[in-house]
Amino acid sequence: MTTFARRARGRAAELHPELSLVAYSIFDLVLEHGGCQATDLAEQFLLDKSTVSRQVSALEKQGYLTREVDPGNRRNHLLHATAAGRAVARAAERRRREAFTARFADWTDTDVATLAAYLTRYNHGD
């Protein structure tokens, strides 16, 4: 698992050299949800709010995220991807798909299905 984690961190730099694996993961979740609060990100990734705050600030400085006042509760802010952020995400997703396609080129459908089943089992804690 350590090797897997190291490889994931290394590959994240290939997907987007300016984003750490944590920043990329945070950004990806904001995109997936169509916007969210920083506290949602901290809960999802089991991270300290200060860690999320640093990553969000970096993403804002890069022009990938914007912070807007939550109309439902003006004390909160919602994070949304900018047009530039969505473009970067599309490019990173294309590179990720290409990398997976290359990595699994010589795997059979059964091999991929077995891996998927084991990952699902692992993620559910069974």
- Domains of the chain with bracketed CATH: 2-124 (1.10.10.10)
Residue-by-residue pLDDT tens, the chain, 126 positions = 788 777 777 776 666 677 777 888 899 999 999 999 999 999 999 999 999 999 999 999 999 999 999 888 888 999 999 999 999 888 888 888 898 899 999 999 999 999 999 999 988 875
CA distances 56 to 64, 77, 89, Å, are 9, 12, 15
Stated pTM of the model: 0.75
How remote is the C-alpha of 22 from its chain's centroid? 7
Classified as helix, coil or strand, 53 is: helix
